[in-house]
Amino acid sequence: MGTRNNLQLDKLNGVASVISKIFARLKDSCSRLYRPGMSAQGPIQVISDWAGGRNIALGATIISLLISILAFKLFAILFALIFSIIASTLIFVIAKTIFYKPKEISIELDGENTVLSYVKDVHINGESEIVIHSQPGYGKEKNTFVMLQLFDTISILNCRNITSITDTSYRDITIKYFHPVEGNYSISAFSNDGDVAFEVIEQSADQCRIEFLKPLRKNVRLNFIPS
């Protein structure tokens, strides 16, 4: 009897765990679209980045609206609502699949005759990856750091020895780097807006995963320092 109850409890815990992960994923997806501190144009920028440009997002939105209007004329309200949501989602995914191209960005750095360049790729599931393919001072004689802008969409303001950044959710990022430090190192964070609270989830010689805690700062600098 006790074994059967334990099995049922294990099943319930398993189902609860799956449901919790689904809700966490939905929360992360919604928080990408809007979160406290985001500008009024933030949601539009997020959708544009995800779709691959404003024209693509605008075209998909117009087609979605036309289909929704037609659905509400032909079907009952509940079915029309469900149909509109599914159809709109498919339209955006199809538009992204056909037209999307990663965004290439170049930033001229003050005081140096070099340019920081990177490619920002946003995947179907909303996860984004920033791949740095050119940067100044790449080497062991330089300090490793990255300056991030976290609101609206994650972008890089400046960096050294960073090779890529993966944005799992707007607060959970993985940073890969060519680290100039041999052995142990620590990570510190700084912002002009106030103290930066974060937690290191994973850390190895060539990458780390960091979760930023609330309150979130707009601009953050992460420094990787020899212990």
What's the one-letter identity of residue 2? G
pLDDT above 70: residue 120: yes
| pLDDT of res. 174 | 94
Residue with tokens 């990570």: 187
Percent share of the chain, pLDDT over 90: 20
The per-residue pLDDT for range 209-222, each reduced to its tens digit, is 999 988 888 899 99
Task: Taking the CA atoms of 160, 165, 167 and 171 in sequence, report the sign of the dihedral they define.
Answer: negative
| More confident site: 37 or 86 | 86
Strands 207-212, 172-177: pairing kind? antiparallel
């075209």: which residue's tokens? 59
Q: How far apart are CA 15 and CA 204, in angstroms?
A: 33
pLDDT tens digits along 44-75: 888 888 888 888 989 999 999 999 898 888 88
Cis peptide before 215, with omega less than 30 degrees from 0?
yes
199's enclosing H/E stretch is: strand 198-203
Amino acid making up residue 123: H
Q: What pLDDT is attached to residue 107? A: 79
Q: pLDDT at position 189, please?
A: 92
